[in-house]
Amino acid sequence: MEQHWQKTVVRMLGPNARQQICNRLSQGDSAQRLFIFGCIVLILAASTQPQIMLHQDRISSFSSSPASLVNSLAVAEQLASNGLFYDASGGLICFHCSVRLQSGSSDPLQQHLHQRPRCYLQKLLRLAAGSDDKILLADVAADHDRRVP
């Protein structure tokens, strides 16, 4: 039976993210599990663009984007699953941290990581995808060490 937090993740990030997060929760250590749930809470409570938090709303935002930016539903799905939506002024924006990305970037996800390395949405997605980035894993450990006993 799907738990409430899993339904929330599907509505917020899509079914693929839910599966990745569930996999990481079952394989990760206690620090990673705590970090994942902490990220989910922070994303829900502290997103700068809560009006576009739902995955489907972000996918819909791409209906007005130029074909040069999003030439297929698969591309819109990937961008939306990574928290990005299309803004009428022509840019991609993260619903959590509000970073504005150049719409002509060949790799908007890498650009997001470069511009806002502390975005908890990106940290969550990278950890769930199985990243072994030493900086990310150090952040997980540091957050775990800072928790209230």
More confident residue, 137 or 147: 137
What is the C-alpha to C-alpha distance for residues 49 and 29, in angstroms, rounded to an integer?
A: 31
What is the C-alpha to C-alpha distance for residues 58 and 63, in angstroms, rounded to an integer?
A: 10
Is residue 35 scored above 90 in pLDDT?
no
Q: At what angle do helices 30-46 and 15-27 cross, to 10 degrees?
A: 150
More confident residue, 104 or 149: 104
Q: Do residues 48 and 116 make contact, with C-beta atoms less than 8 angstroms apart?
A: no
Most confident of the ranges 13-17, 68-72, 81-85? 81-85
Is residue 148 scored above 50 in pLDDT?
no
| Size (the chain), residues | 149
Count of domains forming the chain:
1
Across the chain, what does the average pLDDT equal? 83
The residue-averaged pLDDT of 99-115 equals 83
**pLDDT above 70 covers what percent of the chain?**
91
CATH code assigned at 103: 1.10.1170.10
Is residue 12 scored above 90 in pLDDT?
no
pLDDT given at position 103: 63
Binning the chain into helix, strand and coil, the percentages to the nearest 5 are: 60, 5, 35
CA atoms in the 13 A half-sphere facing the CB of 124: 27
Query: Structural domain of residue 96, as residue ranges?
Result: 1-145
